[in-house]
């Protein structure tokens, strides 16, 4: 019997049963294919579900239920030049990305033509039941040095611009996002006059930055933090603009420090394999915990074509190392990562 035979009253019932069985079969095959380890290839074009390269540069990821949402700078060609855009994508396996929304912002505070919106990061706040987006807001020449905040009651809808400020009264350029295992939310921000970067706790409603946990005295940006087996690891890049440099890491038992000395995360002559840190993403699976280094491979003249370097880190006992980029697989259920030979 084929699944597609003509219906007659006599065999209609058994055909329906067969069709249900067939649908279930294909559903299970599909689900199994999805649950299987998925390949991630740094430096390649990453097509979304529409076949367009993912526009989520300088980004960050939050997990809601079993879904990961990735927000970043959308630098597509042909956009309205007076606006700035944030891309929002979702995935259940970190390898297949579905386009959710291109969030547009108009120039909010007379910071000038050529205004800058970079490194957006989204948090979900239980208390106000809102998604809260932080962005680096700047003017030409990067002199404004503020964060901007926008909120939305859905993760992938239009965000309402609220305000901008200098966190803790300090200049803030590159920002990073860290959510600790207990759910507390932190903003990482580079403070040029202080020659360092802060890890600061957000207020209860996440709408302001409340408490400085550390000012880490190292001229680094692209700051990212992860908590792994009783230690906090912080990663940052040197201040060389779009040009890649040797990113470095330090560790501490507490977000308040003291922090260790900074060390290279990769052979320095590779300049972090041409990338710059944006986030450290921890996947705690049923069998293993993998920490992913998320970096940007910037193409300053063709920003829409900037690529991503994502690799599982060798991490533990105070050491962190970025392996040479190669295609690798991630099993999102078990948390196991395997670099292909
Ligand atoms: C980098 C920074 C990017 C962008 C760029 C502009 O240092 O990490 O987000 O601001 O400079 O030159």
User: Which tokens sit at 238?
Assistant: 């040197």
Q: Is the pLDDT of residue 125 over 60?
A: yes
Cβ–Cβ < 8 Å for 131, 123: yes
Question: Per-residue pLDDT tens for 145-187?
Answer: 999 999 999 999 999 999 999 999 999 999 999 999 999 999 9
DSSP code per residue over 145-189: -EEEEEEESSTTSPPEEEEEE-GGGS---SEEEEE-TT--EEEEE
| pLDDT band at residue 209 using 50, 70 and 90 as cut-offs | very high
Predicted confidence at residue 29, as pLDDT, reads: 46
Mean pLDDT of 328-334: 98
What is the DSSP code (8-state) at residue 260? -
Which pLDDT band, with edges at 50, 70 and 90, does 338 fall under? very high
pLDDT in tens, 301-322: 999 999 999 999 999 999 999 9
Helices (H) and strands (E) in the chain, counts: 2, 24
Give the pairing type, strands 185-191 and 130-138: unpaired
- Is the pLDDT confidence value at 18 over 90? no
Pocket test for ligand 1, best of 220, 221, 279 (most atoms within 8 A of CB): 221
Average pLDDT, the chain: 92
pTM of the model: 0.90
Nearest CA owner, ligand 1 atom 5: 241
For residue 268, the CA-to-ligand 1 centroid distance in Å is: 19
Q: Does residue 33 register a pLDDT over 50? A: no
pLDDT for position 36: 77
Task: Output the residue whose Cα is nearest ligand 1's atom 6.
Answer: 241
Closest ligand 1 atom number to CA of residue 118:
9
How many beta carbons lie within 10 A of that of residue 159, not counting itself?
A: 27
Please report, rounded to a whole number, the percentage of residues in the chain having pLDDT higher than 90: 88
Count of residues making up the chain: 341
Q: What is the pLDDT of residue 23?
A: 54
State whether residue 31 is helix, strand or coil. Answer: helix
Of 153 and 1, the structure prediction assigns the larger pLDDT to: 153
Q: Please name which of 29, 9, 33 lies closest in space to residue 329, comparing C-alpha atoms.
A: 33
Mutation probe of ligand 1 site: the residue of 172, 197, 242 with most atoms within 8 A of C-beta: 242
What integer pLDDT is reported at residue 24 of this predicted model? Answer: 53
Mutate-to-test residue for ligand 1 from 116, 120, 134, 174, highest number of ligand atoms within 8 A of CB: 174
Tell me whether strands 185-191 and 175-179 are parallel, antiparallel or unpaired.
Answer: antiparallel
DSSP structure string for 235-251:
EEE-S-TTS----EEEE
Residue 131: is its pLDDT beyond 50?
Answer: yes
The rounded Å distance from CA 7 to ligand 1 centre is 64
pLDDT at 172: 98
Q: Tell me the mean pLDDT in the region 243-260.
A: 98
Q: Let me know the angle formed at the C-alpha of 152 by 127 and 46, rounded to the nearest 5 degrees.
A: 115
| C-alpha of residue 51 to centroid of ligand 1, in Å | 27
How many angstroms separate the CA atoms of 56 and 223, rounded? 17
pLDDT in tens, 73-98: 999 999 999 999 999 999 999 999 99
CA distance 140 to 167: 20
At residue 10, does pLDDT exceed 60?
A: no
Q: Is the pLDDT at 194 greater than 90, yes or no? A: yes
- Which atom of ligand 1 is nearest the CA belonging to 138? 10
pLDDT at 22: 52
User: What pLDDT is attached to residue 75?
Assistant: 98
Q: What was the pLDDT predicted at 14? A: 52
Q: Token pair 């000038």 is at which residue?
A: 112
- Ligand 1 geometric centre to CA of 243 (Å): 9
Question: Ligand 1 centroid vs 115 CA: distance in angstroms?
Answer: 14
- Alpha carbon distance 71, 69 (integer Å): 7
Give the ligand 1 atom nearest the CA of 142.
10
- Measured in Å, residue 208 CA sits from the centre of ligand 1 at 23
> Which residue owns the Cα nearest ligand 1 atom 12?
241
pLDDT at residue 120, as a whole number: 99
Cα 37 to middle of ligand 1, angstroms: 33
Q: Tell me, what's the pLDDT at 21?
A: 57
Provide residues with CB under 6 Å of ligand 1: 58, 118-119, 174, 221-222, 241-242, 276
The answer to whether 206 touches 132, Cβ cutoff 8 Å, is yes
For residue 173, which atom of ligand 1 is closest to its CA?
A: 10
According to the model, what pLDDT value does residue 7 have? 35
Q: Is 305 helix (H, G, I), strand (E, B) or coil?
A: helix
**Mean per-residue pLDDT, 116-134:** 98
pLDDT at 198 over 90: yes
Side-chain half-sphere exposure of 274, counting CA atoms within 13 A: 12
65 or 2: whose pLDDT is higher? 65
Alpha carbon separation from 93 to 71, 103, 335 (Å, rounded): 16, 23, 10
How many Å lie between the centroid of ligand 1 and the Cα of residue 171? 15
């Amino acid at each position: 019997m084929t699944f597609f035979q003509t219906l007659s009253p006599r065999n209609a019932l058994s055909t329906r049963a067969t069709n249900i069985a067939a649908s279930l079969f294909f559903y299970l095959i599909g689900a199994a294919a999805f649950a299987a380890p998925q390949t991630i290839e740094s430096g390649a074009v990453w097509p979304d579900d529409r076949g367009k390269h993912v526009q989520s540069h300088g980004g960050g990821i939050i997990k809601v239920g079993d879904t990961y949402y990735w927000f970043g700078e959308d630098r597509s060609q042909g956009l309205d030049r007076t606006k700035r855009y944030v891309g929002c994508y979702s995935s259940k396996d970190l390898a297949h990305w579905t386009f959710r929304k291109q969030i547009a912002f108009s120039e909010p505070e007379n910071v000038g033509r050529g205004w800058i919106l970079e490194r957006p990061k989204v948090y979900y706040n239980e208390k106000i039941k809102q998604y809260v987006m932080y962005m680096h807001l700047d003017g030409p020449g990067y002199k404004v040095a503020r964060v901007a905040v926008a909120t939305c009651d859905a993760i992938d809808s239009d965000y309402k611009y609220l305000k901008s400020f200098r966190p803790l009264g300090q200049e803030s350029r590159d920002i990073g996002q860290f959510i600790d295992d207990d759910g507390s939310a932190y903003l990482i921000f580079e403070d040029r006059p202080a020659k360092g970067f802060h890890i600061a706790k957000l207020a209860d409603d996440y709408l302001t930055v409340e408490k400085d946990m550390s000012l880490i005295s190292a001229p680094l940006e692209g700051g990212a933090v992860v908590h792994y087996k009783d230690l906090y690891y912080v990663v940052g890049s040197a201040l060389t603009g779009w040009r890649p440099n040797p990113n470095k890491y330090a560790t501490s038992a507490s977000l308040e420090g003291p922090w260790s000395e900074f060390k290279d995360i990769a052979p320095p002559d590779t300049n972090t394999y041409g990338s710059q840190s944006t986030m450290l993403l921890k996947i705690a699976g049923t069998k293993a915990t993998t920490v992913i280094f998320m970096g940007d491979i910037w193409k300053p003249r063709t920003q829409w074509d900037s690529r991503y370097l994502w690799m599982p880190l060798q991490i533990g006992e105070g050491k962190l190392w970025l392996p040479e980029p190669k295609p690798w697989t991630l099993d999102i259920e078990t948390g196991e990562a395997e670099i292909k030979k």
